[in-house]
Amino acid sequence: MRTPALAALLSAATLALTALPAGAVLPAPPPGSPPATMLDALSRDLGISHDAAASRLLAQDAAEEINRTLPAWIREQSPGSWLDEATGKLLVAVTDDQAAARIAASGATPVKVTRDRAELKRLSAEVARLAAGGVPGLTGWGIDPVTDTVAVRITAAARDRSSEKFGKDVAGLGDGVRITYVAERPRPQGGDVRPGGRWLPGGEANCSIGFPATDSGGGRHFLTAGHCTNDVDQPAWGSDGQQNRIGTSNVGGTHSVFGREGDMGLVGVTESSWRLSSSVNTYGGPAVDVTGATEPLVNQAVCHAGVTAGWQCGKVTAVDQTVVYTVATLEGITHTTACSLPGDSGGAWLAGTRAVGLHSGGYSSCSPGGARDQSLFQPVGEALGKWGLTLHTAGGSGDGQAPTAPASLRASGITSNTATLEWNASTDNVGVAGYRIYNGTALAGTSTTTKATVGDLAPASSYTFTVKAVDAAGNLSTASAPVTVKTGADDTGRTFTTTANAPIRDFQTTASKVTSTASGTTRDPVTVSINASHSCIEDLDITLTGPSGQNHVLHRYGGYTCHPLIGTTTYRVQTTERAAGTWTLSVRDGGPGDTGTLERWSLAL
């Protein structure tokens, strides 16, 4: 008799390996690189190249490692952490100089804010008090560390007297709370029972498997959504018609949560014919093996597998949010831009090859998709901790061998604030995934090649850099021999600034020009610093056009939940075109109801 795998669930569930058409041949990715299926999906869903997707995953792996090691006192004080979308570096909101110094020493970037976590928690509790009686159209709220505020979400179509009163009451809490209007209300996703269904709770609708896990006694389980496991001691089936039993859901009535604590449930795998697998079904591509778990971070690239939408990717836009479904209010939920459909509930969310969440719900649409709260998930770490579980991973493959140290580290192209480093490639028993560059002991950057430019250096200062190689299993090499760099004096002759004071109006383009007299080609990267204000950055397309006519997209329009553009925002452009001539910054406002001002901008060539 053929023994089915839990991951297979009739060869089609969330953790399944799906069969390829006869004769199909898939190209093998380079050894040590991220899974090709993940790079394909990230490229498709985020609109970036395969190389950019690989670089993004490498940078966020390093940032996640720093985030996991932040001291408890900083976590308790900070409104939150997020990833810089341009560089992948970890940004941490702080309110005092001591915390800022500790963050900088770790290799992350501190961002000074005025409100600490306690104050934002107080404001969040006030919003909860105001919402206690129910507010039509209210879909949730939570801390937004990027803006140092509590964001409250209401569906635009649900405005009535009670929601207007709620809005006025919220406004009375001060500028630490802001309201954004979203397209629709997210909802838990169930789906219809149909042939080829995945795991089914009793005789109910489809749900998706999250992650297999074991308990301290060796008991076998898989995690899924709490709204899929609400019934006590319910049989869990592998196919329609209550056939191919897997085990029992919500054993004893203590293994399901759907409410303030979140959306998570546990199914006990009791049938010996089912085995646990760490291979995530990517629905048509090679499986992705789960290697561990991590926490969600804003701007983190993530993918999920579900029985209806298949394999979809996006980025995290908010963490630790309160979500108001029509049937329950949940806390601690993560928002993403990835699309999902009914039947995906409980499915696996990954950041790279690490488990990050269990699918909860969303807009139940992949056309067009892309909203900032398109799909929602429950962080997986909370579920593992609640029931004392160990994630079932691919770690048994036993790659504990680190790459060799990078050799011949050298520096070139040194300016007043940048240095370009190059080194000889490392080798590994499986393959090198990338490199981490250190300034002293602090992480300065990552690279998927043997070259990197380190920026944000002070003029006329000395720095000592080393490089370490990392493989797909996360093994780090020893450090390269160090190289010491001294930056040049302040080179103001290659920095050009213009004061625009130009309004940014709905459905119009604001253009501002600066003329460069710098000689030769630009230094890679070109740094663009924009000082502007706008109430909704999601409405904006921001483009830099060089003297040659080449366009460089700095920010793309998209998203339903608005975040303000405030202060100075810095972008880095990879280009080596002619430096002299006219450079044009264009800001196009493609949405209604939000305006702003382009105050000034500078260009470092």
Catalytic residue ranges: 227, 263, 345
Looking at the DSSP bridge assignments, the partners of residue 602 are 497, 529
Dist. CA 411–CA 93, nearest whole Å: 32
What backbone phi and psi angles, to 5 degrees, belong to 8?
-80, -45
Residues 81, 146: Cα–Cα separation, whole Å: 8
Residue given tokens 């963490």 in the structure block? 319
For residues 157 and 142, what is the distance between their CA atoms, to the nearest angstrom?
21
Sign, CA torsion 273/277/280/281? negative
Contact by Cβ (8 Å): 453, 379: no
- How are the residues of the chain apportioned to helix, strand and coil, as percentages rounded to the nearest 5? 15, 40, 45
Cis omega before residue 368 (within 30°)? yes
Dist. CA 200–CA 477, nearest whole Å: 45
Give the separation between CA 529 and CA 545, rounded to whole angstroms.
Answer: 14
Dist. CA 605–CA 590, nearest whole Å: 29
Token output for 34: 């991220």
Q: DSSP assignment of 44-104, as one string?
A: HHHT--HHHHHHHHHHHHHHHHHHHTS-HHHHHH-S-EEE-TTT--EEEEESSHHHHHHHH
Element (H, E) at 36: helix 36-46
- For residues 108 and 91, the answer to whether their CB atoms sit within 8 Å is yes
Q: Do 422 and 412 meet the contact criterion of CB atoms below 8 Å apart?
A: yes
CA distances from 556 to 378, 454, 538 (A): 28, 25, 8
Of 604, 455, 602, the residue nearest 530 (C-alpha): 602
Phi, psi of 273 (to 5 degrees): -75, -5
Under 8 Å between Cβ of 493 and 566: no
